[in-house]
Structure 1
Amino acid sequence: MRNAPGPRSGTSSAAATWRASPTRRSDATAPASAASAVGTFERSNALRERAHALIPGGAHTYAKGDDQFPRRSPGFIERGEGCRVWDADGNEFIEYGMGLRSVLLGHAYPPVVEAVQRQLQLGTNFTRPAQIEVEAAEEFLGIVTGAEMVKFTKDGSTANDAAIRLARAHTGRDRVAMCADHPFFSTGDWFIGTTPMNAGIPKAVRDLTLQFRYDDLASVERLFAEHPGRIACLILEASRGEDPRADFLPGVQRLCREHGAVLILDECITGFRWHLGGAQRCYGITP
């Protein structure tokens, strides 16, 4: 049975589990109620003031910003081990979000730390490729069997932006169809233009992105009917926790093929979680 992942942003990703810790710097004692489940945030609050004076939004990653979390959330994390993290004031939390869903094995997982240490000793960021890049690509393609080639990127936004650009180049079309029920795909204009934070994105660019509803095949059919021969690609997540109806994803794949559009499956969350080979293995589709 799969545990449904939470959204990438907009909710707290750390559950407070106050306990006296040897790393704790706060003088607060254990609270008497769940309403005050942690000690003070004195050092975190001081760091917040410094951060907001130097960094737009107080964080280099938007989804980690203060406006994405309740006020009593931890402000700055100093270290983590397994599923637990400690903030700048020594408060201990269970981190439900696990690095915005990217830390699958837990923080400071010893085999990962040891592998990184070994590689760092060999040097990093050479002018030419390293052997490990070929080995990682072979390993990935041996797991995600529906892929023919792989290009590693720094984050999901970069990967999705590249997929959109490739789809437009391949089809010679401009319009993108995205699932309106999935909260985040990219920092690129094609997606941010659909959000309330679309300042600075030209209307001509915003108008190129269309939207459909998840698990609603009729809404996908309508888009193709309303924009015949103009949709370059359709992008969605395979699932946000609940399994789709049995006919939805195969139906989306069929419609994309019938209309010459590229199907892009965003597996930043479902990849390696639903199945080692991705949710595409679970649902029997090949994007």
Structure 2
Amino acid sequence: MNAEELGLPRSRQANERLHAMVPGGAHTYAKGDDQYPENLAPVISHGRGAHVWDVDGNRYVEYGSGLRSVSLGHAHPRVTEAVRRELDRGSNFVRPSIVEVEAAERFLATVPTAEMVKFAKNGSDATTAAVRLARAATGRPRVAVCADHPFFSVDDWFIGTTPMSAGIPAATNELTVAFPYGDLAATEELLARHEGEVACLILEPATHTEPPPGYLAGLRELADRHGCVLVFDEMITGFRWS
């Protein structure tokens, strides 16, 4: 089955236009048509709730929910109303807006383990900031990433470990090492092998399954004992473990 047989002629044409102008055909790696079956990548027209429609008029349940960021569904009335209200007040000022103060206060009240908050534009910026802070705080160069988790950042410290490593110096790639999820012994061996060099351990605390009993507490103890920072990437889990 191809795009024509499925009824995606406009999506096919739109994908061709995208590839003519945008490297990879998308501005976000996970949205690329190479992440879908060949010739079966719809181009979206609009969405409402849990559904989206492509430019050919087909309706889908969007399981990915905007890469998990649209947790209330597309075009939720309260969200769109709040956005419209703020647009009428202006945006992108040269000084912080009172909305930033209120958002920070609400965030800290919601996440009691947080002492301060720095909002970021995307997940890559957030994880890279955490890595940079860990390196600054520890004075160490290496980053240990969980080998079983597929994505942490588009920045050099992570993307250099993937097939998309072109343009990243080998010396940078060598500073990133990997540990397996759920295996405290292997992680301790890694930290011992690079004793005094690892700035942080970074992982998703949970994915489609719960973490093994005692695993996260064990990582906390290992990180403390070896003097490195423990970073939870909770772009998807949403502060359930931090």
TM range (shorter): over 0.9
1:256 corresponding residue in structure 2: 223
Whether 1:127 and 2:97 are equivalent positions in the alignment is: no
- Name the TM-score, length of structure 2 as normaliser: 0.96
Q: 1:86 aligns with which of 53, 57, 73?
A: 53
Matches within 5 A, 1:140-151: 140-151=107-118
Q: Provide the aligned C-alpha RMSD in A.
A: 1.6
Query: Structure 1, unaligned stretches of length 5 or more?
Result: 1-33, 272-277, 281-285
Query: Structure 2, unaligned stretches of length 5 or more?
Result: none
- The 3-state SS of whatever aligns with 1:178 is strand
Partners of 1:90 and 1:77 in 2: CA distance: 9
Per-residue CA deviations over 1:13-55 (Å, capped at 9, x if unaligned) read xxxxxxxxxxxxxxxxxxxxx999x851111111111111111
Q: 1:76 aligns with which of 43, 48, 54?
A: 43
Partners of 1:73 and 1:80 in 2: CA distance: 19
Partners of 1:195 and 1:252 in 2: CA distance: 24
Moved over 6 A (4+): none
Whether 1:179 and 2:146 are equivalent positions in the alignment is: yes
Per-residue CA deviations over 1:165-222 (Å, capped at 9, x if unaligned) read 0100110000000100000000011101111221111111001001000011111101
- Name the TM-score, length of structure 1 as normaliser: 0.81
The answer on whether the counterparts of 1:236 and 1:266 sit within 8 Å (CA) in structure 2 is: yes
- The 3-state SS of whatever aligns with 2:117 is coil
1:279 corresponding residue in structure 2: 240
- The 3-state SS of whatever aligns with 1:169 is helix
Whether 1:108 and 2:75 are equivalent positions in the alignment is: yes
The answer on whether the counterparts of 2:2 and 2:40 sit within 8 Å (CA) in structure 1 is: no
| 1:74 shift after superposition | 4.0
Q: Identity percentage over the alignment?
A: 57
Matches within 5 A, 1:178-197: 178-197=145-164
> Which structure has the higher relative contact order (CA within 8 Å, separation 6+)?
1
